[in-house]
Each structure stands twice: as C-alpha cells, then as structure tokens.
Amino acid sequence: MLENGFITLERKICTWRWFREPNTLVVFLYLILQANYEPHDFENITIQRGQIATSYPSIAKNTGLSVKSVRTAIKHLIETGEVAVSKYPR
C-alpha cells in the first residue's frame, strides 16, 4: 500500500451527486486513494495506472462497511460512470 503521495480533489466534489451518500463517497475515495499510480503486475495481469485489483470483501474490511453497502456503492458509481468494473476469475 502506498503510504505517501497525494491526490488532487476539486472543491466541486461538494456538489457531486454522491457527496451526501456517505457509503458511496467513502468507497469512491478509497478506490481513488488505492488506485495504482504506475502499472503493476497482478496474477499475470497488468493493472494499469488508475486501476485497482480488489474485491468487495476487501473494500468492506478496509472501509468498515458491509459487503452489501460496498456492492450498492459500487453499483451507484458504475451507473453514473465514475468507475468501470472488469471481473476476473480469481
């Protein structure tokens, strides 16, 4: 896990559709903070910059949310185009 570095967050996030949905906001920020800043290999797949290899249970554990809350939050983010999901067998 990257311990240092920074991300840029625009102030207009306060007017973002999901800003007042705490679970969705937490999941979104978690994904941004954990995304690769350079390509890395993971189980014979190259995870590009801006991508993350994770799972619902892993996100739930690291954010303190339930797996159901994480699924719902990611569903919101997919529906509005903030994130895209690719599923892998492992």
Residues 33-86: pLDDT tens digits?
998 888 888 888 888 888 899 999 999 999 999 999 999 999 999 999 999 998
pLDDT given for residue 47 in this prediction: 85
**Cα distance between residue 36 and residue 72, in whole Å:** 23
Domain limits for position 34: 23-79
Residue 44 lies inside a defined structural domain of this protein: yes
Contacts of 8 by beta carbon, 8 Å cutoff, 6+ apart: none
pLDDT given for residue 16 in this prediction: 94
* Helix (H), strand (E) counts: the chain: 3, 2
pLDDT given for residue 90 in this prediction: 65
Total domain count, the chain: 1
**Cα distance between residue 78 and residue 39, in whole Å:** 23
pLDDT given for residue 22 in this prediction: 96
For residue 71, the SS3 value is: helix
Residue 42 lies inside a defined structural domain of this protein: yes
Indicate whether 2 pLDDT > 80.
Answer: no
pLDDT given for residue 3 in this prediction: 64
Residue 88 lies inside a defined structural domain of this protein: no
pLDDT given for residue 46 in this prediction: 86
For residue 77, the SS3 value is: helix
Residue 75 lies inside a defined structural domain of this protein: yes
